[in-house]
Every structure is written in structure tokens, then in C-alpha cells.
Structure 1
Amino acid sequence: MAAIAAILSLLLISSLTPSSNALSNNYYDKTCPDAESAITDAVRKAIGSDKTVPAALLRMHFHDCFIRGCDGSVLLNSGNNNKAEKDGPPNLSLHAFYAIDNAKKAVEAMCPGVVSCADILALAARDAVTLSGGPTWDVPKGRLDGRVSKASETVQLPAPVFNLSQLQQSFSQRGLSMNDLVALSGGHTLGFSHCSSFQNRIHNFNKTVDVDPTISPSFVRSLRSVCPAHNIVKNAGTTMDPSSTTFDNTYFKLILQGKSLFSSDQALITSQSTQKLVTKFASSQEDFYEAFVKSMIKMSSINGGQEVRKDCRVVN
């Protein structure tokens, strides 16, 4: 599996490079000036009925950009003997696609065939952060939607068990730096994780110890109460941090306390440079917000697709 992921990553590296050549903050000013407000309204309504929507939309955007660039390919449904990205193992827990559908419907009613699904997803991810108490920013727009979506390519997504070297390779192949890696990881302040994503740290860690020694003992006890060794409770898990519906810098504070969920989270303090950033963001929410915004703009500018879909779930 690792070898396949490496090969696929190399095949796609040439197309996954940040580029803002075709993107502009005022891209729809003349062709669909009310698009952003319509998208924000749709996201706000979705959050009003489900507080997990912000985390879902932010994760959805990230998972979209890391496969074929930010082209909305994660939104496509499977069909015609093709299993799409959303049905790949890392994406089975993605949800709130209806929020994007509702935003698209509203925008299409105003400006048919103008605003791409990829742009809607990028804007919705921004709104998810802002409406959760986080920063806001101007999203460069002008992405096109992709026509290809393959579940097999989702093996390229960074896994919760990755170490720092694996994370660095994954991000660098997409033109993202270690600073971007640490800043974007702060998105884990929102949301919920199933036991399967951190089970490796609290049971049978390796041949010599049962528990990852970097985890706080009290935290292990709380996690084991939710996720026993032979857990049979479907969808069991825990929130990413105690303030999981608020976008803040709690995530970084938890890493320093040994209370992060994923191996990939705790890996951020295994090098001097990344530990310095974690400490900086833990002590200054303002510094985290500033870095997060820069990295989100950079990540969301990765090259994408070829068309403006009429329906985000199917190609034209």
C-alpha cells in the first residue's frame, strides 16, 4: 500500500503545485457579485442544524485539494463502474455534502453556470472557520471543476499514523512547507475522530509497550474508556479537543500536554523547528490565525480542473 501511494504521489506531483495565475479575489465581482453571500448563508443554515458541519467542510476541502488539486473532485458521486473519491476509505466519514449542494443551488439560481463547485467548497471552508470563531480572509477564486474522481487515489491523503518525515513528504509534494504543515494541522481543533484513527496509540503500540509513551497517562485512561481494545461500538470516538466546535489554538496546547489524538499530531514536536512553531501557536492565537490564513490560501490555490459543473455531484 505504501509503495502504491508513493508511485501515485510521484505521478501527480507535476499537477499539484500551488498556482494563483488564474485566481483572483474579485473573480465573480461582475459575473456573480452575490455568490459569496449566498454561499455563506447556506453554510450558516447548515451549521444551525448541525454543529459538526464546520469541521466536515474544512476537512472536505483539504481532502479535495490533496488529490488532484482543488477541483471539487471529492464532491463527485460514484457511477459508471467508477468508485469516486468520496467512497475511498479515508473519505467514508466525510459528510455535509448537502451544504455544498444547497450553496450551489442558490448560486445557480442567480448566475447559472458561472461559479464552480471547487470555488464553492473553498469559500465554504473559509466560512466554516469564520463562523466557528476563527479568522476570515479573501478567498482567491476562479478554480475549475475536475472530471475525474477515483477512490484508489485517496491513499495519497496524509494518514493519522504518519510520522513527521511522511507528513513532510506529503506536503512538500504539493508545494507546501513545514510551516504550512504545522499551521494547517491546526484545523484539527474542529471536529470528531473515530477510535480507528488513534487506536494504534492506546493499544498494542509496539512489541515492547502497550501505549504510546508520548501520551499523557490520564488522557490514555479517558480514551480507553471510549475505545476499549476490542471496541464493537459503531462510530465510537471522541472530539478533537474540548472546544471542538470553536476554531481556536487549543489543539497546539494539547500537543504540548501530550493530549493530542493522532500520531501525526504528536509528530509535530519531534523536530526542533516544528516544535518551535507548535509552541508559538499555543502561546499566541493571533500568530496561529495569521499563519493558518496564509497556508489555506496557498493550499487552496493548487491547480484544479477543466469545467464549471452544473451539479456538484456529476460531471457535465
Structure 2
Amino acid sequence: MATRVALAPPMVAVASVAVLLVVCAAASVAGQGQLQVGYYNKTCPAAEQIVRNETTVAIGSSPDLAAALLRLHYHDCFVQGCDASVLLDSTPNNTAEKESLPNGSLRGFDVVARVKDQLEKACPGTVSCADILALMARDAVSLARGPSWPLEENRFLPGETMASVVAAARAAAAVVLLLAVSTTAPSADAHVVIGAYNKTCPQAEDVVLKEMTAIVAKSPDLAGAVLRLFSVDCFVGGCEGSILLDSTAGNTAEKDAALNQGVRGYEVVDAIKARLDAACPGVVSCADTLALAARDSVRLTKGPFIPLPTGRRDGNRSVAADVALNSPPPDANITDIIALFAKKFNLTAKDVAVLSGAHTIGKARCSTVSPRLYNFGGQNGASDPTLDANYTATLRGQCKPGDNATLVYLDPPTPTTFDADYYTLVAGNKGLLSTDAALLLDTTTSAYVASQANATAPATEFFADFATSFVAMSKLGALTHHNGEIRQVCSKVNPPTSSQLSNAAAVPGGLAVSLALAVVALVLKL
């Protein structure tokens, strides 16, 4: 009788793959110290998230890379251990492993290199190529709907020493310290931290990235919309989700202010928040949902990955009148704008120029540019003479007089790619908004525009600067710890609980407070 071979059930097969990967990952490596889970928690706390995000983007573009990365890790581990030797190129005096006949069809080297590049920007000299490959293989399995598991780290590259690791750790510690102290508002924002949800909702950033990947793939323009939504939130009352609140019968909220009529992306935040609450009910705030979605908007449009501190809570004030008070007046010049950013937000002229670079993606309503086309300086029919004549003609073809609804690209040549092309447009008098053109009228901002417009290398400097300024902006007025709340619905303040009402009545003046809370509850139901 022929012997029957029993096929392993899917879960057994999946578990076997995971066990094999763990065994492979623990294989001897050159000069290795003790492997441990969370090895980079202190020296590069964002390491695993960066690897996960980059691997998600790569596999999202080419699904077959999941198998390629898994195979690449196997081939590395079974020749001298998991030491990334398979990644080394041949030299005139040596033919490397990758050039051997059995390895001729290996792929994924370029993806590993891209991940390494992002990690070096975040934590220079800290994460080994061996660990990067191991983490990517683990994530490839998870992204292909397989299991995920804690992975031990601390593999060294051939030739590394503990001295080099210590030096790298010191460099990474400096980066972490910079993130911790570069607060930009005198509130509790110093307490936002990298990985705030690591214990309470470890999959939070993955959920946001997965949802944003699907959303941007379907509607690329929403990347710019979400990025703008976040900046609009941060510059009025801080990054506490106030822009998301709906108006009520007794209050007109920020989102309904005249200056915010072109703001979009609310439904994106609601969709992601629903996914987060399904995974971790009541844990992740709307403010952090928006912040992470904006961060991922940049990465998904080929911009830099930004390790972002989290832990923001949601505010409960949203007043339309606050928008104008925190925005440059219509007749403001660049000096006024820089002064406003310095006084209210503790941001520099360079920050103004760098954050303006967000206009490299997204759209603006014709109503924002029409004054430059048809009523410049209050003169009917006059156009802005500083705007390129050919560009003026193009815009007039897109935005007819009185058209307030049509959307036009901020960066027409590369409208859905986060790059430095925006600065080339501004330098050539093709900045869409008046605030874009204003950058040319200040010494500091114009110098930055010129440096980026004339840069011969890829947008490396701009990407690094944007990451720094973005993190600074993201800390503005952040509510943390017991300040604020975790909204159940991003468009509504939570109704007061019975314990809040009883606690309010128990303190001096508590009766008035409890009555006020009751009134709030009543208004919320209108």
C-alpha cells in the first residue's frame, strides 16, 4: 500500500515557518553578543516601526517581495550564520556569496538598502544590516497574513566590535534626546514619546499605515489633504484634534471657520479611528490618529519616514473665532508671518520655509488663488505681477472669476510626490499661494528656497529638515497624561460620566461645575 503523506493544516504549517525563522534568526553570527527582544528599545526605539513601515510600502508595491525577502534571510543564515554576509558585494579579490550560482536569483537587496537608509537617518550607526534583514523577513511573513512574533536582536555585521556598537548607541541617544527636548510650546508636550502605544496598543501604528496605504492608493490627493488637516489642527490650539469637532447649536467649530472651508480629510481620520478602536477600544486618541496619518501621508508619497512621538490626548474646545486669531491676516507680509510663528509657536524663519515645503503635495481651492489672478491689490482685473505670466494664464484657465470650488494642484509637475520640486516652482515665480511667493521676500526663507531649488542631489537636506520641523510642529500644545480625553467619536466631545459629575459636585464650587457639565451634555445631544 502506498504511504500517504499527511499535509500539515495551515496553522501548523504557519507555525512551522515561524519556528524555523526563529531558529534561523538565532543562528551563530560573527562577533555576536547576547541576542534579546527589544535590543534597540533605548538606542533606536523607532527601529522596528521603521522596518515595518518600509517593508509594508515595498510589499504593497510588489507583493512578491514578501517571499523574496524571506528567502534572502534564509540564504544568509545558512551560510556562516545570520550575519548579513549575503548582502556584501564582490571585490576585485573576492567573489561574494550573492554572486554564487545558488544565489543568482536572490532579490530584495535594494529594499534592504532603502530600509537601512531610513534607519541611518533616524539612528545613525545603530541598527545592523543583519538585524534589518531578520526583521524584514519576520514582517514579510506577517504582511502575507502569517504570524508575527517578538524577534531577538543584536546581530553584528562581520568585523563589528562592541566599541562600534557603543559609539552608535551614543549617537542614537543624542537623536532621542533631541526629540525629547525639542519641544515648541510651553505645555505638556514634552511628554509625548516615541512608541507611546507599545504596550497599550502595539499594533496602532501598523493599523494607521495599513489604512493610509489603502486610502492613498485609491485617492492619491488625500495624502496632501490629510497633511494639511494636521497642520491646520496644530496651529489653532495645538495638536489636540480640535479641527475634527463638529459645530453645535451653541458653537461654531474651527472646521466651519471661513479660512477652513477648503480643508478635507475628516472621513479619513474617522475610518482609521474606527479601525483602531476595533483593535484597541478607547486607547488611541483622535489627535494621534491624525498625527500618524499625516506622517504616513509623507512617506506614502515617497517622502521621508518620520519617527513621531505619540501620546497626545484630545481637547474639548473648538471655536471658529480662534482660527483667525492664530492665522496671518490677509494683508500680512513675510515679516508678519515669521513674527507670528516665532511668538505663538516658537518656530523659526527656517521652519516657515521648511514646513511650506508640504505644498509639494495636495491641492488648493481656486478661492485661495483668485485674488492673485483677478483682484491683486484690490484692483479689479489685475493679476499679481510677481506670478509667472504663463502660469497666470494657465491658472486663469483653471480658475474662472467667482469659482470658489475647483481644486488646483499646488505642485503641478509632481502633484502626488513628496519632493523638493516645490522650491523650484517658488524660485521660478510659480508658487501657487501668496504665502509661497512671500518666501522670496525674506533673507532666510529665500536662501532656503534657493538652496533647495539649486540642489543637485536628491532631496536629502529637505527631507531631514522637514522631519525635524514636522516633529516640532507636532508637539505644539499637545495634551498628555490626564489632560484632555480619548474621544469616542472624533467629531464629538465625550459626554461627562457619572463619576465626573459626582466628583465635580464634591469639590468647592462643584455644584456650579456639575451644572456646567450637565449643560454640556445637553448641548451635545442637540
TM-score (norm 1): 0.89
Structure 1 counterpart of 2:270, from 97, 101, 105:
101
CA offsets 1:274-311 (integer angstroms, 9 cap, x no match) = 11111122234111111111000000011234111121
Structure 2 counterpart of 1:43, from 204, 212, 227:
212
RMSD: 2.0
Q: Residues 160 and 197 of structure 1 are in contact (CA less than 8 Å); yes or no, is this contact kept in structure 2?
A: no
CA distance in structure 2 between the aligned counterparts of 1:260 and 1:153, rounded to whole angstroms: 27
Q: Residues 187 and 478 of structure 2 are in contact (CA less than 8 Å); yes or no, is this contact kept in structure 1?
A: no
**Which secondary structure does the structure 1 equivalent of 2:485 belong to?**
coil
Match of 1:254 in 2: 425
Match of 1:164 in 2: 334
Q: CA deviation at 1:117?
A: 0.8
Structure 1 counterpart of 2:392, from 209, 213, 220:
220
Q: Does 1:128 align with 2:297?
A: yes
**Which secondary structure does the structure 2 equivalent of 1:182 belong to?**
helix
Structure 1 counterpart of 2:451, from 271, 275, 280:
280
Match of 1:69 in 2: 238
CA distance in structure 2 between the aligned counterparts of 1:182 and 1:143, rounded to whole angstroms: 26
Match of 2:345 in 1: 174
Q: Which amino acid aligns with 1:191?
A: G
CA distance in structure 1 between the aligned counterparts of 2:240 and 2:305, rounded to whole angstroms: 22
Unaligned 5+ runs, structure 1: 1-14
Structure 2 counterpart of 1:315, from 493, 498, 512:
493
Q: Does 1:289 align with 2:463?
A: yes
Match of 2:408 in 1: 238
Q: CA deviation at 1:207?
A: 6.8
- Percent of aligned pairs with the same amino acid: 35
Q: Residues 161 and 262 of structure 1 are in contact (CA less than 8 Å); yes or no, is this contact kept in structure 2?
A: no
Match of 1:300 in 2: 474
TM-score (norm 2): 0.55
Match of 2:309 in 1: 140
Q: Residues 70 and 118 of structure 1 are in contact (CA less than 8 Å); yes or no, is this contact kept in structure 2?
A: yes
**Which secondary structure does the structure 1 equivalent of 2:377 belong to?**
coil
Q: CA deviation at 1:160?
A: 7.4
* Larger RCO of the pair (alpha carbons < 8 Å, separation 6+): 1
Q: CA deviation at 1:102?
A: 1.4
User: Computing the radius of gyration over CA atoms, which structure comes out larger, 1 or 2?
Assistant: 2
**Which secondary structure does the structure 2 equivalent of 1:198 belong to?**
helix
Q: Residues 113 and 308 of structure 1 are in contact (CA less than 8 Å); yes or no, is this contact kept in structure 2?
A: yes
Count residues with an aligned counterpart.
Answer: 300
Q: CA deviation at 1:191?
A: 1.2
Q: Does 1:56 align with 2:225?
A: yes
User: Structure 1's 19 and 159: CA in aligned 2 closer, same or farther, altered over 3 A?
Assistant: farther
Q: Residues 192 and 311 of structure 2 are in contact (CA less than 8 Å); yes or no, is this contact kept in structure 1?
A: yes
Q: Residues 144 and 308 of structure 1 are in contact (CA less than 8 Å); yes or no, is this contact kept in structure 2?
A: yes
Q: Residues 16 and 175 of structure 1 are in contact (CA less than 8 Å); yes or no, is this contact kept in structure 2?
A: yes
Match of 1:206 in 2: 377
User: Which shifted more, 206-215 or 28-37?
Assistant: 206-215
User: Which shifted more, 57-66 or 76-85?
Assistant: 76-85
User: Which shifted more, 192-201 or 54-63?
Assistant: 192-201
CA distance in structure 1 between the aligned counterparts of 2:320 and 2:405, rounded to whole angstroms: 21
Q: CA deviation at 1:16?
A: 4.9
CA distance in structure 1 between the aligned counterparts of 2:244 and 2:485, rounded to whole angstroms: 14
CA distance in structure 2 between the aligned counterparts of 1:22 and 1:217, rounded to whole angstroms: 49
